[in-house]
Structure 1
């Protein structure tokens, strides 16, 4: 009897763990999000997310874009053209299908702007991505997609 209950408890715990977010993460739709209180470079932000079995946020819808803008922060997102200039790809290797760039962005203004930020304080929540030097320190948002 005890073995059966133990096995059932472990099965339920496994289901809960895959459907719920860790502490300090917010569940929205099928994803969990964590926004840092510290500021890091894009590379360090990516590493922090990966340590938590997550990735820098990949924005795939207007709703997700609007949600992230509500934080009111400048945050790193998982978008870079470091591999090939002007070929922006998400950290999972996928190309951008729904861009939310500010007007006249990306512009590679300083010749080394290969990472993307979401500037949450700009006026238009659907046009607030900007390219920056990856070594700048910003807040960042990690994402875990639930199964």
Structure 2
């Protein structure tokens, strides 16, 4: 009988303290993104490599809200257009557009009128251009680019 009480007490203690212990050592977290416009021109592969060398990724854009945030930041920083690399590419199978930065297929797009056009079957990488719309172009072009940084914000139990 005494052993049964001990087991029940241990289970109750675990049920009551477990969530608090979990919050202390495995806190909830949220990942937010910060975008860095890199103002030197590089090929698409050079931009991808540079972002990785500084612990970031060439930017991937997964929603209209994220696209709007990037466009706003570019305008706020006084960048009036031009060409900027993203991690968008169809290099893997020559057909499917995907984000090299996160390895996901493109579900959201914001292509400019008539894009992607794949002129001369040589446009396999994606840039943001003058009107902040997307354009496919040769990966050998030299553009500015955006590196994306994941920031982890932890939320600890305060009770």
Q: Are 1:69 and 1:118, in contact at CA under 8 Å, matched by a contact in 2?
A: no
Report what 1:51 is aligned to: 53
1:129 aligns to 2:134 (yes or no): yes
1:141 aligns to 2:146 (yes or no): yes
Task: Give CA-to-partner distance per residue, 1:67-112, whole Å, 9 cap, x none.
Answer: 3224233210011001112201101221001111112211111321
Show structure 1 runs of 4+ deviating over 3 A. none
Higher helix proportion, which one?
Answer: 2
Report what 1:118 is aligned to: 128
Among candidates 75, 80, 86, match of residue 84 of structure 2: 75
- Number of aligned pairs? 116
Taking the aligned partners of 2:32 and 2:47, their CA distance within structure 1 comes to 22
Other structure's SS at 2:49 match = helix
TM-fit CA distance, 1:49: 0.3
C-alpha RMSD of the superposition: 1.9
Higher strand proportion, which one?
Answer: 2
Q: Aligned in 2, Cα 1:82/1:94: closer, same or farther, shift over 3 Å?
A: same
Question: What TM-score results when the alignment is normalised by the length of structure 2?
Answer: 0.67
Taking the aligned partners of 2:46 and 2:123, their CA distance within structure 1 comes to 16
Other structure's SS at 2:46 match = helix
Return 38-47 or 66-75, whichever deviates more. Answer: 66-75
Report what 1:30 is aligned to: 32
**Which has the higher Rg, Structure 1 or Structure 2?**
2
1:101 aligns to 2:111 (yes or no): yes
Other structure's SS at 1:30 match = strand
Runs of at least 5 residues in structure 2 that lack an aligned partner in the other structure? 1-29, 75-79, 153-159
